[in-house]
Chain A
């Protein structure tokens, strides 16, 4: 039977590609325009952007309407964006969009070119479609930005110990100090953090992104940009999130090895040959973004057996294009002894013992609802053992 990714009777949805674009480029001094009728921008600013109230970053919706779409009148958008840019003087403009521009074959590149000609400000076309997850959007946005503003030749000047942390947005790391902890973790281990894409960076510092010897992909949202940088400048990739002491050591070790031999690595070991959405019964299930879920599962597996009830941990993560199939999630949850996941996944328990559920909020899933409870999980000081205490 075909897997049903589409119907969600009980569960929520991961945020979309358009929010990923906005989130990734938020701090770089640009203006992002979501080509969409309405709603995408308020959804982003309400649920996905914890920095919205206190900063004045420029994110707008184009207000596409029926007649403009049917007539293909791109001049409305070009006129509006040009006028706004002339008022606000952003460093650059990003043009992304949702499903209607996608199905009417809106010409992102052409319109970006025309806006740039009209206002003299660089315009990045990022042809999102509103159908995919934020992982896709962050990847497309960072890649487009690097292609336009970062010079691959700068890689020649990279320090021997310079690394980038790629895929850092509030969607996966919130604004509770995780980004700073990531920097400190690598700095304390003797690495020079060149760029943390893209929190705590400026336009100028991001422009030096290629001055690194390795890209540490700390969330899958960083994978596309890392692959692009590998293609353009040969920068090797390490995938892994430092979470807890042992897993942090594993990630740092992988980073050192990659700096030494230039090979790509992952820092989470292996999880057996189970199907993508099938996990062995009676284990510890970690549901979340791919790099996070695999890294936390690895971190748990690195604990002494008695600290994890003698159980093994298994990750379950959403597909970038399709999300998670609800039936398989329900089965995996019911088959597991312990579940670590965003609190909104609790709805699938339906009468099972809720004590085995360990809440681990994820902004890209539940938005702002549990933001205050989101732990500072990055780095060696996070206690994986403490996380499991409520279950054993």
Chain B
């Protein structure tokens, strides 16, 4: 079996994440430890067997943030004695007693084994909340066995925001929810909101716990990524905050539609027709400049860099680029995009980055140069010419596309030390 399939031969219901999986050395995607440490003045406790603890502890150590994390190891005795609750409570109390500073919040992660042993951890949290009223405790989960129901990252985004409590709303303040990276100058939405005098709060720019708690008073939550959906739905129910989803894609009409919908929901002016026309012209010019530089150099795109790799591939093809492959393990984009791409370029290679055969793939590319958008494409295609971003890195809308074009031009001109960069865990987090 080849490590790739032609898109023309694939079904839309393609999902490589179903069984035996390979883990490449590419580690830039954030995990729950990286996300958890975004909460200022909080302390994380992981309660798991040794094999699960190893990864989170060393992730934290690599960030230089060991003072933000403690662990409680689940042992054979706990399984046999059925005293998981007591071990959790004793451990948490010891952590609180021995930390040099009282944390404002504690994120306590239980694991797969707690589900299977029906551990009543909510009772422990109740006891802890009563005993330590100055600390906000929140239950978090590192339970990949439940990933078909609710994967750990969407679950964590939801749980983090459960630290927020209902309060009076500020109509001139909104939250961005579920982003690893702050959305600023390369985001059309941020520009529109700031022009209207609407403040944007983002977890990743909060410096203090109190600043984070202010997110409870925002009137709406704006999400860019699928991983944030659970959090936004939960906040809508619990806090009465409106949910405004925007699509992190490359279709101009969708961008305009989402900006107008956000403006209408917040009672502010959407971008004018003139502004929209200008943005489109600037974007087309940036794309043309990039196309002129890169020429027919093949491009490979992966899902760790952007949420919609198929749509990006289609956009690039429509603008005259040569796209040779996409690395993606699950199709989360619309059937329409998939079928358009199938019709446009049936020979497009789709690689499963988790598939077992890719381990023995002869890493490399044909021709002198290949430009990769994303770390997995760069690694498997063995190129130092790559755009080193994770999860869109704060890019949205026309400004986002122009920034991506700028990064592609930069990557085309300048090589990066791919081997070193792709192995850094949680790219852009504290360790990068």
Interface set of A (CB-CB < 8 Å, partner B): 4-10, 12-19, 33, 36-43, 45-48, 52-53, 56, 58-67, 69, 76-77, 79-81, 83-84, 87-88, 98-100, 102-104, 129-133, 321-323, 344, 347, 350, 366-367, 369
Q: Across the interface, do B51 and A53 meet the contact criterion of CB distance under 8 Å?
A: no
Q: Across the interface, do B50 and A7 meet the contact criterion of CB distance under 8 Å?
A: no
Contact of B54 among A47, A53, A69, A132 (CB under 8 A): A47
**Bound form: Cα–Cα A56–B359 in Å:** 6
Closest 7 CB pairs of A and B: A130-B51, A43-B55, A16-B51, A38-B144, A42-B23, A37-B144, A80-B20
Q: Across the interface, do B149 and A53 meet the contact criterion of CB distance under 8 Å?
A: no
Contact of A7 among B72, B79, B115, B356 (CB under 8 A): B72
**Bound form: Cα–Cα A41–B49 in Å:** 15
Q: Across the interface, do A38 and B95 meet the contact criterion of CB distance under 8 Å?
A: no
**Bound form: Cα–Cα A180–B116 in Å:** 45
Name A41's closest neighbour in chain B (CB-CB): B23
**CB proximity to A under 8 Å, residues B58-75:** 58, 61-62, 66-67, 70-75
| CB of B198 within 8 Å of the partner chain | no
Q: With A6-B87, A103-B113, A130-B50 in contact, is A63–B58 under 8 Å at CB? A: no
B137-151: contact bitstring with A at CB < 8 Å (1 yes, 0 no)?
000000111111100
Contact of B50 among A60, A103, A131 (CB under 8 A): A131
**Bound form: Cα–Cα A368–B340 in Å:** 44
**Bound form: Cα–Cα A84–B67 in Å:** 42
| CB of B419 within 8 Å of the partner chain | yes
**Bound form: Cα–Cα A131–B53 in Å:** 10
User: What residues of chain A lie closer than 8 Å to B366, measured between beta carbons?
Assistant: none
Q: What are 29 A-to-B residue pairs whose CB atoms are below 8 Å?
A: A5-B73, A6-B91, A12-B57, A12-B66, A13-B57, A19-B51, A33-B20, A37-B144, A37-B145, A37-B147, A40-B51, A41-B23, A46-B23, A46-B27, A46-B58, A47-B55, A48-B54, A58-B359, A60-B359, A61-B21, A63-B17, A80-B19, A87-B1, A100-B113, A102-B79, A129-B49, A131-B76, A323-B73, A369-B62
User: What residues of chain B lie closer than 8 Å to A9, measured between beta carbons?
Assistant: 70, 94-95, 98-99
| CB of B295 within 8 Å of the partner chain | no
**Bound form: Cα–Cα A47–B60 in Å:** 12
Contact of B58 among A59, A66, A369 (CB under 8 A): A369
Q: Across the interface, do B112 and A61 meet the contact criterion of CB distance under 8 Å?
A: no
| CB of B273 within 8 Å of the partner chain | no
User: What residues of chain B lie closer than 8 Å to A100, measured between beta carbons?
Assistant: 112-113, 116, 145
| CB of B14 within 8 Å of the partner chain | no
**Bound form: Cα–Cα A6–B20 in Å:** 31
Q: Across the interface, do A65 and B117 meet the contact criterion of CB distance under 8 Å?
A: no
Q: With A13-B57, A40-B51, A103-B116 in contact, is A7–B360 under 8 Å at CB? A: no
**Bound form: Cα–Cα A40–B144 in Å:** 11
| CB of B280 within 8 Å of the partner chain | no
B contacts with A, residue count (CB < 8 A): 59
| CB of B252 within 8 Å of the partner chain | no
**Bound form: Cα–Cα A104–B148 in Å:** 19
Interface set of B (CB-CB < 8 Å, partner A): 1, 17-23, 25, 27, 49-55, 57-58, 61-62, 66-67, 70-76, 78-79, 87, 90-91, 94-95, 98-100, 112-113, 115-117, 143-149, 356-357, 359-360, 419, 423, 425
Q: A5-B73, A7-B91, A63-B17 are in contact. List 9 more A-B contacts (CB 8 A).
A: A6-B91, A19-B51, A62-B19, A62-B20, A99-B51, A103-B116, A321-B75, A350-B100, A369-B62
Contact of B357 among A19, A40, A87 (CB under 8 A): A87
Q: Across the interface, do B20 and A131 meet the contact criterion of CB distance under 8 Å?
A: no
Q: Across the interface, do A60 and B356 meet the contact criterion of CB distance under 8 Å?
A: yes
Secondary structure at the A interface, as helix, strand, loop or mixed, is mixed
Name A103's closest neighbour in chain B (CB-CB): B116
Name A84's closest neighbour in chain B (CB-CB): B356
Q: What is the distance, in angstroms, from A318's C-beta to the closest C-beta of chain B?
A: 11
**Bound form: Cα–Cα A53–B21 in Å:** 17
User: What residues of chain B lie closer than 8 Å to A369, measured between beta carbons?
Assistant: 58, 61-62
Q: Across the interface, do A16 and B73 meet the contact criterion of CB distance under 8 Å?
A: no
User: What residues of chain B lie closer than 8 Å to A6, measured between beta carbons?
Assistant: 72-75, 78, 87, 91
Q: Across the interface, do B72 and A133 meet the contact criterion of CB distance under 8 Å?
A: no
**Bound form: Cα–Cα A387–B39 in Å:** 41
Q: With A63-B17, A130-B51, A366-B58 in contact, is A69–B116 under 8 Å at CB? A: yes
Contact of A8 among B1, B51, B71, B359 (CB under 8 A): B71
Q: Across the interface, do B52 and A130 meet the contact criterion of CB distance under 8 Å?
A: yes
**Bound form: Cα–Cα A323–B146 in Å:** 28
Q: With A46-B425, A53-B423 in contact, is A14–B50 under 8 Å at CB? A: yes
Q: Across the interface, do B148 and A67 meet the contact criterion of CB distance under 8 Å?
A: yes
Q: Across the interface, do B423 and A133 meet the contact criterion of CB distance under 8 Å?
A: no
Q: Across the interface, do A37 and B112 meet the contact criterion of CB distance under 8 Å?
A: yes
Q: Across the interface, do B117 and A7 meet the contact criterion of CB distance under 8 Å?
A: no
Q: With A9-B95, A98-B52, A350-B100 in contact, is A39–B144 under 8 Å at CB? A: yes
User: What residues of chain A lie closer than 8 Å to B52, measured between beta carbons?
Assistant: 39-40, 98-99, 130
Q: What is the distance, in angstroms, from B64's C-beta to the closest C-beta of chain A?
A: 10
User: What residues of chain B lie closer than 8 Å to A38, measured between beta carbons?
Assistant: 21, 144, 147
Q: With A7-B91, A66-B145 in contact, is A60–B75 under 8 Å at CB? A: no
Name B100's closest neighbour in chain A (CB-CB): A350
User: What residues of chain B lie closer than 8 Å to A7, measured between beta carbons?
Assistant: 70-73, 90-91, 94-95
Q: What is the distance, in angstroms, from A107's C-beta to the closest C-beta of chain B?
A: 17
User: What residues of chain A lie closer than 8 Å to B116, measured between beta carbons?
Assistant: 69, 100, 103-104
